[in-house]
Chain A
């Protein structure tokens, strides 16, 4: 089964070794450079913004008391509920000529020529902000966790040495949280590189859209291959970086002697600044898109009627349920298998599975279709099997498998992090007591890993609720989720009608987030 997760990379490369096309002619040197520059600029912008947003807010809520701190602590993770493409819809609708900002100004100050005074976004800037606000949560959550568990003694020592809070932040706190920050940023980077919905909406050409065009529009596999290579190089670099800092993390964390750091009460200007910073961040990342969608939903109630609310809920939840179940079961099997057999191959493959997460969903979906088609034709020609394309392409089964490939790494590593806390000697003791492997698993591991299962389940749910490109291509006839419905309205230039499904999507995601916020924010 772990072999399944190697499919995307496998297919992307194998299928590229034949024909050549004309896309490269179009893709002259300057062109390619432009795509690379765009990807690089977006990446740089998003990494800088998420770093500033994530680390600053994490620093404030971890070390200080200021008005609203307990609220912001969990409110900031609600940003996970808003996918970047829906953020992009709100951004454009608000700032466009005669858009929502114009309506608000007209409402407040009467008729006027406000369009000139409303700032306009370039698509590149728009993409950066949309992606940053929807992803900074990764940096926030991980950095905060690292701050909370930071050795109190180290900070005390700093204080005794006479470091100001400014100095201790840059000399002690930040360096020791570096591994967590790097992990957060590398997750952000992977999601940014694989983004399609946002940059496509802004029609910004990036590496991902170039691969899509080369492969799908021009059938130019050589170019697609070369571009994929560049993209994979980027991703590999990130992956190595992330792995290195994960290893580093082990040395930094000191589990003993960690008492909760007493929070310092901020006063005066500093306290106002902290409250303002967090308020603005919360407003921009969550309140703004939600208000825009709510405003439309109320302003254009007619679009309600067109939506089959019940089936959208059912479809979305069906996909979430089946995929989580499937993913968690197999993550357990591979993790437990790994633990029992210590098989190097499984371990390598599991590591390799990150490729599914790092590859853009749209490329993965097409690779999946190509692979199934090739495999089915291959079996038919050799063994005379009936074609099974329809079982996997355009079916819920196919969707679940494609999600599996994409999110296996997420699920596997989530379960693994729980397993790594169960000492191997516990297993050995259980065997000595005559427990079978299955019994050890069901009576010891499963209860112990309950929290992990919940966390992983919800993370998968969040990803699948928001997932767009895979669902769009692989879905069966007459099958809509909130994401595809919102997309299809956006595609017919009716963002007003996209508001309601978008809002439902955000609400579902928020419910899931609130459900696990207790665990994400645990200070123990």
Chain B
């Protein structure tokens, strides 16, 4: 009995050692690779990476997760980090991570500079796709004038008719950051109070839930990103949501002034990237017409390069609206904390 037991223990021990070493080796077998840390969770991104691999032979390894937690892991791993590219869905976060010195120059290669507008790139990171944060309305109850703005949503005449998600949401923080940049902190604080007075309900749910609230008649106005409506219209969320989406109209605000608030999904090359050359190749690939077409058809974002057209579910709402290209997206990061403070003090 004791012998069998000892033998068993020895076998188990060997098995563990074997397994662990196999796993360690497996981690370092692929030399021609690029490692991506992504706070974007799209499956379609992974399909895109597979296309890249079949074209170039470079294997793409991915870890996805919560934005700040990924950043923390990259920072703590320091120069031992295997991560080459960090991708996230907010310009403010890219800017903030750059400010911490976590990116190296090189994201905007010559090929990328040629196709991506200057507002959506820096030497440290580059936008991969665009999204607009816009107003949605119920055409049966209200009709916005052509020059309606984000600022107008705080007008007391809309009391109890506006929905938007919580202040903790990063898209809201970037939007309010752009308002602070353009109108100053004091005016934006007053605006935030007006918004809170107009809320139809306590902020709850994600962007899609705001659009649904307008469809259901809980509110007349909602603020949400563009791709959520297209996602519903695509039928990926079932027939009921598709029908609901048709009851709501998108509206591109601030056409009279600076234009509609734009944000980006983007990526940068990390300071200690072990595969920098491959990282540049991957970023360049993501900005080719082929890859951009794949992105816009799956995530319903706007393309970053001029030659590619947005998916028809998005394009039908018009593509010639005025985008806010004046407010540099890199400002979002600097002002997000202030934006959160302004919203919180208003009881948002």
Report the separation of the CA atoms of residues A492 and B1 in the bound assembly, to the nearest whole angstrom.
55
When distances are taken between beta carbons in the complex, the residues of chain A under 8 Å from B69 are 216, 362, 365-366, 472-473
Residues of B within 8 A of A376 (CB): 80
- Residues 306-348 of chain B: 1 if any A CB is under 8 Å from the residue's CB, otherwise 0? 0000000000000000000000000000000100110010000
Query: Known: A98-B240, A366-B72. Contact between A390 and B19, CB under 8 A?
Result: no
Residues of the A chain whose Cβ atoms lie less than 8 Å from the Cβ of B105:
none
- Whole-angstrom distance from the CB of B133 to the nearest CB of chain A? 15
- A92 and B43 contact, CB distance less than 8 A: no
Cβ-based interface call for B241 (8 A): yes
Are B23 and A396 in touch, CB under 8 angstroms?
A: yes
Instruction: From B182-190, B209-217, B275-283, give the one contacting chain A.
Output: B209-217
Closest chain-A Cβ to B320's Cβ sits at a distance in Å of 28
Q: Does B66 contact A (CB under 8 A)?
A: yes
Q: Contact: A493 with B231, CB < 8 Å?
A: yes
The digit string for A274-300, where 1 denotes a CB below 8 A from any CB of B, is 000000000000000000000000011
Point out the residues of chain B lying under 8 angstroms from A37, CB to CB.
none
Q: Which of B1-26 contact A (CB under 8 A)?
A: 1-2, 5, 12, 16, 19-20, 23-24
Closest to A447 in B: B1
B341's nearest neighbour on chain A, judged by CB, is A26
Q: Which of A135-143, A344-352, A420-428, A437-445 contacts B (4 or more CB under 8 A)?
A: A437-445
Q: Taking A97-B212, A373-B78, A472-B66 as contacts, is the C-beta distance between A397 and B169 under 8 angstroms?
A: no
In the complex the two chains form, what is the Cα distance from A446 to B23 in whole Å? 31
Do A438 and B2 touch (CB < 8 A)? Answer: yes
Q: Does A264 contact B (CB under 8 A)?
A: no
CB distance from A143 to the nearest CB of B (A): 34
- Bound-state CA distance A516–B232 (Å) is 43
Are B344 and A26 in touch, CB under 8 angstroms?
yes
B63: interface (CB < 8 Å): yes
Given A393-B73, A394-B82, decide whether A493 and B43 contact each other with a Cβ distance below 8 A. no
Q: Does A477 touch B at the CB level, under 8 Å? A: yes
Q: Are A26 and B77 in contact (CB under 8 A)?
A: no
> Taking the complex as formed, is A22 at the interface, i.e. its CB lies under 8 A from any CB of chain B?
yes
How would you classify the secondary structure of chain B's contact residues: helix, strand, loop or mixed? helix
Is A379 an interface residue when CB atoms closer than 8 A count as contact? no
Interface size on B, residues (CB 8 A): 63
A28 to B307 CA separation, bound complex (whole angstroms): 49
Q: Which of the 9-residue segments A79-87, A115-123, A226-234 touches chain B?
A: A115-123
Residues of chain A lying within 8 A (CB to CB) of residue B231: 493
Asked if A476 meets B166 with Cβ closer than 8 Å, knowing A97-B212, A394-B82, A492-B41, the reply is no
**Cβ proximity bits B43-86 to A, threshold 8 Å, 1 near / 0 not:** 10000000000000000011111101111110011101010000
Contact B41 A491 (CB under 8 A): yes
Q: How far is the CA of A98 from the CA of B166 in the complex (A)?
A: 21
Report Cα–Cα, A497/B236, bound state, in Å: 10
Contact A123 B216 (CB under 8 A): no
- Asked whether A472 and B65 contact (CB < 8 A) given A96-B205, A103-B240, the answer is yes
Chain A, Cβ-Cβ closest to B245: A98
User: A106-B240, A491-B41 are contacts. A442–B204 as well, Cβ < 8 Å?
Assistant: no
Known: A98-B244, A477-B61, A492-B41. A115 touches B228 (CB 8 A): no
How many residues of chain A have a CB within 8 Å of chain B? Answer: 70
Across the interface, do B66 and A493 meet the contact criterion of CB distance under 8 Å?
no
Which of B41, B42, B215 interacts with A97 by CB under 8 Å?
B215
- A494's partner among B65, B70, B236 (CB-CB below 8 A) is B236
Q: B218 on the interface (CB 8 Å rule)?
A: yes
* B residues in contact with A299, CB < 8 Å: 238
Judge if B208 is at the interface, Cβ distance under 8 Å. yes
Complex interface bits, B224-267 against A, C-beta within 8 A gives 1, otherwise 0: 00001001000011101101100000000000000000000000
Q: Given A477-B62, A496-B238, A203–B41 Cβ distance below 8 Å?
A: no
Task: Encode A469-503 as 1/0 by CB contact (under 8 A) with B.
Answer: 00011111111000000001101111011000000
Q: Which of B16, B80, B82, B209 has the most CB of A within 10 A?
A: B80
Chain A residues with CB under 8 A of B168: 203, 205
Partner of B73, one of A217, A387, A473: A473
C-alpha spacing A497/B202, complex, angstroms: 28
Known contacts A325-B16, A393-B73; A203 and B169 CB within 8 A of each other: yes
- Determine how close the nearest CB of chain A comes to the CB of B275; give it in whole angstroms: 12
Q: Indicate whether A395 reaches chain B with its CB closer than 8 angstroms.
A: yes
> Residue B145 at the A interface, CB < 8 A?
no
Complexed CA–CA distance, A187 and B165 (Å): 33
| Complex partner residue of B1 from A92, A218, A442, A474, CB under 8 angstroms | A442
Complex-state Cα separation, A478 to B35, whole angstroms: 10
> B42, B77, B240: which contacts A102 (Cβ < 8 A)?
B240
Knowing A97-B209, A306-B43 are in contact, say whether A217-B216 is a contact too (CB < 8 A).
no
A116 touches B1 (CB 8 A): no
CB < 8 Å: which of B20, B77, B201, B241 contacts A389?
B77
Which of A22, A92, A369, A391 interacts with B76 by CB under 8 Å? A369
Complex Cα distance, B240 from A283, in Å, reads 25
Contact A325 B12 (CB under 8 A): yes
A309 CB to closest chain B CB (Å) equals 14
Q: Does A245 contact B (CB under 8 A)?
A: no
Instruction: Assess the B77–A373 pair: CB atoms within 8 A.
Output: yes
Distance A390 CA – B243 CA, assembled complex (angstroms): 50
Per the bound structure, the CA–CA distance linking A205 and B238 in Å amounts to 31
CB-CB < 8 A to B20: which residues of A?
396-397
Cβ of A38 within 8 Å of any chain B Cβ, yes or no, is no
- Minimum CB–CB distance from B53 to chain A (whole Å) comes to 12
Q: Nearest residue in A to B336 (C-beta to C-beta)? A: A217
Whether A442 pairs with B2 at a CB distance below 8 angstroms is yes
Q: Is A18 an interface residue (CB 8 A)?
A: no
Contact with B41, one of A102, A365, A477, A489 (Cβ below 8 angstroms): A489
CA–CA, A514 to B241, complex, Å?
38
**Interchain CB contact under 8 A, B73 and A394:** yes
B206 interface contact, C-beta 8 A? yes
| A122 touching B63, Cβ below 8 Å | no
Q: Which A residues have a C-beta under 8 Å from some C-beta of B?
A: 22, 25-26, 31, 92, 96-99, 102-103, 106, 113, 115-116, 120, 122-123, 202-203, 205, 212, 216-218, 299-300, 306, 322, 325-326, 362, 365-366, 369-370, 372-373, 376-377, 387, 389-391, 393-397, 438-439, 442-443, 446, 472-479, 488-489, 491-494, 496-497
New A-B contacts (16) at CB < 8 Å, excluding given A478-B61, A492-B41, A493-B231: A97-B244, A98-B243, A98-B244, A103-B240, A115-B217, A122-B202, A217-B68, A390-B27, A442-B2, A443-B1, A473-B73, A474-B73, A476-B63, A489-B41, A496-B238, A497-B43
